[in-house]
Structure 1
Amino acid sequence: MASEASALRTASNGRLPVDGPRSGISLSRVGIYAVLFAGVLIAVGPFLWMISASFMTLSEVNLTRLLPENLLWENYATALRRANFLDIEIATDPQTGVLQSLSISGYIWNSVRITLISVLGSLTVCIPAAYAFARMRFVGRNFIFALFLSTMMIPGIVMLIPHLLTVIWLGRLSESLFGPAGAWFNNWPALTIPFFASVFNIFLLRQFFIQIPDDLWEAARIDGAGHPRFLVSVVLPLSKAPIMTIITLGFIGSWNALMWPLLVTINDEWRPIAVGLSNFVTADTPGDLNLQMAASVITVIPILVLYFVAQKQFTEGIAQTGIRG
């Protein structure tokens, strides 16, 4: 009787009784999802249209269609050929079919070489430097590290001319010592060596290295290990995530480089794929938007593959470094 009376009082007040928790999605949550979806659409939409347009005819692109009527895979073959992205020449013996020579050229091959040299060089320089700042004690360590960090506040565009003058001077010095073989300008040293010592990479690795427990270092010292052995045997195996992070960031930076290669090269012998894409878009195919989109997709495929393969290590590397210091 008491429950019935309560229900009658609730009904008389114009309110329905509530038997349990509310179900469904609130309006505020719907609004949040709508904003997030709009943000994703704005960010990903142009990329998805680029992929779609790369399979279209030129007339379909001009009509701003969202999807192609037929998938024109030949757009990619045409873009590769006309943009000189990759040229492979194979010579075999006509009698035996044995490979005699293999020649690889083109912007993609240049980018592969530049990226490999840059990433390996950066790892070689940044890992010992970060370890020294994190685990070793020497006079002026904190001051030098603060001086390193202060250079991150300088815009990269401001450093282009000083870097260029440094490369020219070092190139002349190298040529005077080793002859034409030591040339920097219009060669791989100018495209890679200036970026071996990355302040951000050193900072990222240092922040991770200082989180390694000192007990491991004490145990290594008891076993007779010094700093080099401790770095190789203990620190590096524990640092896969931040190392993969700097590999990913270094790969993206080298692969997408445009302005610096234009400054230090005079022909296409060492120019990377970003320069080739720029030339293809502005000079070779000013009106062929479908071919331009195909060339753009070819350019970003290696970056997407690397990111999806290293996505877990990349996010872990950023999350684990923190700001301890």
Structure 2
Amino acid sequence: MKTRTVIQELLEKNLLSEPQAEQLQAYESQKPVSLYYLLHILLYASVSAFIAGIGVLIYQNIDSIGHSVLIGALCLLMLACFGYVFQKSAPFQWQAFTDRQPILEGILLLGCLLFLAIEGYVQYQYQLFGERYGVAVLIPALLFFFLSYRFDHQGVLSLSLTAFASWAGLTAAPSQLLVSNDFSDPVIIHAGLAVGVFFVALGVFLARKGIKPHFMYTYLLIAGTLFLASASGGLFTIDSWQLLYAALIAGGCWYFYTYARTHGSLLFLLLSVVFGYTAFTYLLFHNISMDAGFFLGSFYFLASAAGVVWFFLNFKKLLK
């Protein structure tokens, strides 16, 4: 609802006087607008566009420029990014940086993406790691983990956690599963569960020790979502362990819900509801006959639609 409409309604109910309404209208029309998030979006979009442009440049000019020249130029640019950030950034702090510099955050992210581009380019062209793909993924995971804590960058931490999850999948799963894109295999599902539990536990431990406690949000968003997604995959594909996966999903959703209430996070509340609803719906219709499913379906999804309306009308109360 627009502010002008709210003021008009309050005025009609005699809850505001004419002078008060005029003052509020003047304040709303003249108050400053924050450009913080807009500038952040533009900065990260510029970094992404720059990396995409480098990829196009390499693709179009690889024959005329040469591999060594391109790799050398990219390495110099990457080292310049890391060197500038090390030189200009504040010293390491156990807590969040009080004086954040978005430009440095963008340059650090650019350096990390350049590292990935260089590593992928060298692996594709020269087979530097051979078939040891786990090593190729583990190196950026460890590097980004260090950089994220050194420079207090949650975006780089998310890159690190994603790389660690990839490393766990590559290490645990036979290569033929990855080649055939069989991500429903129990090995991959259990690897996802293990990685999710490990990094959520690590985030909780570090937060309680006072080491970058604000990073807990990223740990829970990446690793917690991986845990719930893996448990959901197990629920959908492994019928013999259905109750176990359902219990894991229920536990994960409850943890998301308690975190959402503690920190007032709508995102984690939505995730808990979506994963919980999906698992409950699957269990309900998977374990009844088709005739009963057709009969129950219309009522169930009608009730679900009403539940969605109720949720959006009352989610603020759930976060209190």
Which TM-score bucket, shorter chain as reference?
Answer: under 0.3
Which protein shows a greater Rg? 1
Q: Which has the higher helix share?
A: 2
